[in-house]
Each structure stands twice: as C-alpha cells, then as structure tokens.
Structure 1
C-alpha cells in the first residue's frame, strides 16, 4: 500500500484513512475498557477485542476503497473526455447527495462536449467542402514555412498533389517570394509550364500556440484578359462611333458634290453648284479637323508621360491654378502640406476639375454673378485629399464619368476626367467624383495624393 505520494504529501484517500483510524482509537479504547471489566473468560475477552479491532480496520479501509473507486471512476471519465471519447457516463442510479450532484455535473459536461465536438466536426466538414470547391488556391504552412494544407485549387495551380508536398517547404512550389511581399499584393508567379499574374493575400492564425501562415492565391490572368478585352471593346466602340460620325457626312457630301459636278457641262459651273461645293468642302474640312483633334486627344491619353516628381507645396500648386480662372470666387480650407508630385501634371488635373466645377456652377438653376468654388485639404493618414466642391445640380450619370471620349458637353472632348484619373493613379493616388451630402453643394471631386 502506498500512503505517501512522490511529492511527499499524503494522498487524499490516505488522509481519510488516517482520520478514520484516529477517530476509531477512542471507540476501541472504550470497548477495551468494558471488555476487560467484564466477568467473562480471558479467551472470550481476547476474541471480542480482536473482533472489534478487525471490524474497525475493515470499515476504515472499506471507506478508503469506496472513495478511491469513485475518484478513479471520475478520473477515467474525465480522461476519456480529454481524449475525445464522450461516450462514457458516470453511474448515478444508486448514488445520492453531493456525489450524485458531482456525477450529474460530469455527465452534463460530457453531453455538452459531445455536442460541441459534433458541431465542430460538422463545421470542419463544411469548411473542407468550401475550400475544396472555391477557385482561390489556399496553402497553409507552419512556423517553419512547411506546407500543412493545400486545397484542390492550389493542387491544380501548382500541378502537384498535397500528399506529395505535405511537410515540404513552400519553396518547393515556388512560394518563397510570398513572405517578401505585403499581405495583399499582385505579382508574377512562375508556375509549372507558365508564368501567371496572381493576387496573393497572407494571414496568420494560431495552432497549438504556434503562429501559422495561410496563403490565398487568386490567378487573375484570366480576369485581366477579360478586363483587357472589355477595355478594347469599349475603345473600339468609341473610335467607331467618332470616326463614323465624321466619315458618314464626308461620304454623303462627296457623293452629292460628285453628282452635281457630273451633271454640269464641261467648263461650266453654275453659281448654285459653286455654292454647294464651297459648303460641302467646308463641312469636309470641319469634320476632318474634328477627326484629327479626336486622334490627338487619344494620343494624349495613350502617351501620358511618367511624372517628374518633386516635393511641392500644395498651396502653391492650387494658387497657381486658381489665378487662371477670372470670375470665380475660391474658398481654400485646410493647412498647407507638401506632396511628392509632378507640379505640371497636378496643375493639369486641378485645371480640369476646377473648369468642370465652374461650368457646373454656371449651368446651375441657382444663377449667380460669381462662380463660387470651395477647395478643402484633408489629411487622411498618409494621403492628402483635395476636395473641390461646386454649387451645381450634381452628377446625373455617374456610370460613364471615366469612360474616355464620353461627354455630355457640346464642345467637350471626353478625356478630361480619364486623363486626370490616370495622372493621379500614376502618382499612387485616385480620383473620385460624388454628389455632396451637403445640400449647399452639388458635386464633389476628391483628389487623393500621397503626402510627405
């Protein structure tokens, strides 16, 4: 029998034995006194004392057995739950009191853990089915950058099998560059038998207290091809429309003039024919000039030079531009900041947007002798937002704002906004045009530029 634990402390069940033994000493002493004081024979006295001693010892160790049995039963139940086996239950049919409450608690805990385990397994099956069906390639790796998971999309993308690559370093499938990029970035990836442009997103999670990495890879090559095809279709539609608008009247007028001259006698051109010729040639010249102007606008949009950047005061850039607009009243809000940008290109963007704001004011139902324009500078973390607000009627068609050569103006070229957005994107910024929430204003043009 082992009374002392390895830690040097007395076991719980042995403490109960010791308490029971100490408590039975008094009982045994009293019994011994009365037995010895009795008038029975010495042999009967010895037999009685031996029986009393044996009964007391037996009861003490029976108590130890019962306590130990209950503790071992509870331990086995908890150990089974810890091992993931929730089928065992504590027998509570002939138990009452505190032990019955404890067994009920254990059985309730086993039921809840069994239910949670079932829900967890069902969710794992659901997640596995989802990652098996989605087109995004998913690769997970541990803290040593060894592969721990690949979904079918990843297997197809890298032309491999997860069973073959499990526990291999991510370098084996060409993902060594992932950890050198930002958490979400587009870059080229050398894949088996091809090179593809992919969008890579990375994130981390904990497993066993260790940081794991999960990599989401989207092959955007096909998406880019579709976008490129769509862009070409839009461009060809615009080019066809503009060229047809010029060539159709030219062809019609040329046919009419040819008919007039062929019906005239040789060496004879009447005054009416002469007038038709002059008018026709004037229209042909005008349409040819318009078509040439259209091609020049297209070349300006297609051959935008790279920005020649320098550190510039945004106040200076704005003040240089607003001086070009007579008859406009400007309100400039916000503190001056420095931007790293091409001074001339940013001025071109401001000219386009302020001109649009001025035209919106003058076309507004609210007539005023002065065109009021508000320019507000707002710091947005590492970006500077330049908001140009007019008092016009707002934007009616927001879908076609940035389509090249689309315009609702009689003399507009349709490239101002497209050119402005392209300039800002080349600077790492963006252009937004929205209707103002403030009823005081009409539309708001927001220029976003990286600030120094």
Structure 2
C-alpha cells in the first residue's frame, strides 16, 4: 500500500500503527452501534480509546527509535575517535542487544588499531629525531607540522621558526618526478612517503645530500686504489731499501755510496709518502671536547708568529678534537701563506646550532676550485694533493662541512667556510 511507503522508519511505524488504530476504532464503533449505545457514549468511548492508542503508538515508536538513537550516539563517538563511549541497549536479548554488542566490539577493535597507529607514529617521530639527515613532516593541509634537528643544516634555522609553513615558502617545488629543492647550492634528492597520525594523512619528506653521496663514492674508490698501491709499493720498497743499505755498507767507492744513499733516502721518502696517503682510508678516532677559542687562537698565533694572523670570535667554545682540528687550521693557514697572502683573518661565531668558521686570506686565490678535494690533485709544483682532502675528511667526521671559494674580483684571495656542530649528536 502507498501509505506504508514512508521515507523514514519513524514515519513507517506511525503510519502502520495509525492504520491499525483506525481499523480498531471502526470495529469498536460498529460493535457499540450494534449494542444500541447512545451516540454521546459511543463518541466518549472512541475518544478515550483513541487517546490510549495514540499514547501506546508513541511509546512503541519511541522504544524502537531510541535503540537506533543510542547506536547513532555510539557511532558519533567513534567518528571523533572516542572509543570509550558505549551505547547500552534497552533490551538484554535479541537482535537489538546483538547489534549494540557488535558496535561495542567494533569500538574496541578500532581502539586497538588506533593504539597501534599511535605507537607506530611515535616510533616514527623518534626515528626522525635520531637521524642526521633533514626530514620534514607536512600535515593534511600541506603545512609543516614537524621536522628534526637536521632541518637547521638545510634552512639555517630551527624548524619551529617555520612551523605551518607551506612547501612553497620553503622553496620546495613539486613536479611529475617528485619534490625538488632547487634554491640550495648543494644537490638534494627528496624522497617522499605517507603515514597516518591522529586520523590525518601526513607526508614525510627525506632529504639526501647527493654531493655527500658522490664524494663518499669517490673517496671509497680512491681508498681502494691507495690501499692496493700502498701494499704493492711497500712490498717493493722494503727489499730495495735494505739492499741499497747493505751494498752501501760494503762499497768502498764514495760515488757508489752516495748513489746508494740517495736510493735508500728516496725509498724512505716514498714509504713516508705512501703512509701519508693511507690516512685517507682511515676512520678517525675522534676525542671530541670543548675547546676554548681564545686559547686555541693563541696556539695558532704562536705557530705562525712570523705571519699576520688575526682572530675575531663572538663564541667561546668549539666542539671538536683538539689535535685534528688544529691540524686542519695549520694546513689551511700554510696554504694561505704559501699563496702569498700577507694577511689571514679567522672569524668564528655561532649560527643555527652550529659553529660557523670563516678563514679569509688575501693571497692570489686559485684558478680552478672544482677539484680541490680530489686526492692527488694539487696546484703546487711540490704539492702532493693530500692536505685539503685530509681536512675535509676530518671536518666531515666531526659532522660538519667545508667549502672553499675565491673571493669576489674586487677582493683578492680565498675564503674557507667551515661548519661544526655545537655539541655532539
């Protein structure tokens, strides 16, 4: 019947029960008329019965609909991730009770899954904090919601300064090949992945310094070559040196003794040369500690007392290995003064949780700065091509970086820029 085609359960229940109530009232009216009741008695009786039926219909409808209302409240709580709100059925048995029990079990399962997601997200954030490569988290609205301490090495400031910044504000560009960061001097590869936290989808961007990876690959290749060459050269030099010294002790000719002495000396020199290059393949055992910059400056001035060396510092401490970091500065200062520099200025300050060191000289600079850190490459006639490579190895094992550039044309010389962490990781 069309009367039963209601759009809601409430209307359907009311329509069906109203039809049965009307039929019941008609039947009562027919019976009372057949019993010869007076009209006013019949009317009064029908009114009383109609009120009773209306109350009964409304209570019945409320009883049925209330079960669904309670279920809806339960579902609303689930939608806002409140899994501790349980809807209790008015009936302890039957399909309604079973329906509410299923809702309760669903809430408990979702609570378990949420706890697992929360644990995974917490572990992910802890992992992000431990890694020394920049990692950025963007929320569902593409706003920066989290990053690790390495963010400052990429953007020069703590990530909190850029909270809720958009990728565009950070210089990130998205293409069909993924994210890119073209505004930086160094080349960065950006990997992306997604995870869910607090019901929202987040995007994780991981930055990998391609320049460092390339340098590591190049250094590994040089280390392999140096180890092989060193082994073969040592095996050849040792018997040659011993034989030359033995023959020199038996020779009576001054000329022969002099020639054999030269052979022995060159063997020792070549062995020393190989030993020095083998240092490129070693992992340094650093003894990191706080270094007083004022005392450190006085030591360097004493070593280069014949040269014009000036220090300016707004910081008090460096976090480094005293022996190795001093060797880095000695190499850099020696290179500067050999490049006919008449003055070298060293400036040290703290910036973005790092020690920023600049070594500026007024020498003749370099015609080619592309291969300065390549082993065996040198611009000096008597150079061996090891000094700067060794310096970079020391700085990078400190967790820092080193960069060498010629000064602008209006200013002679070069500038060496070194960054070091303020404290250990």
TM-score tier, shorter chain, comes to: 0.3 to 0.5
What's the TM-score once normalised by structure 2's chain length?
0.48
What's the TM-score once normalised by structure 1's chain length?
0.45
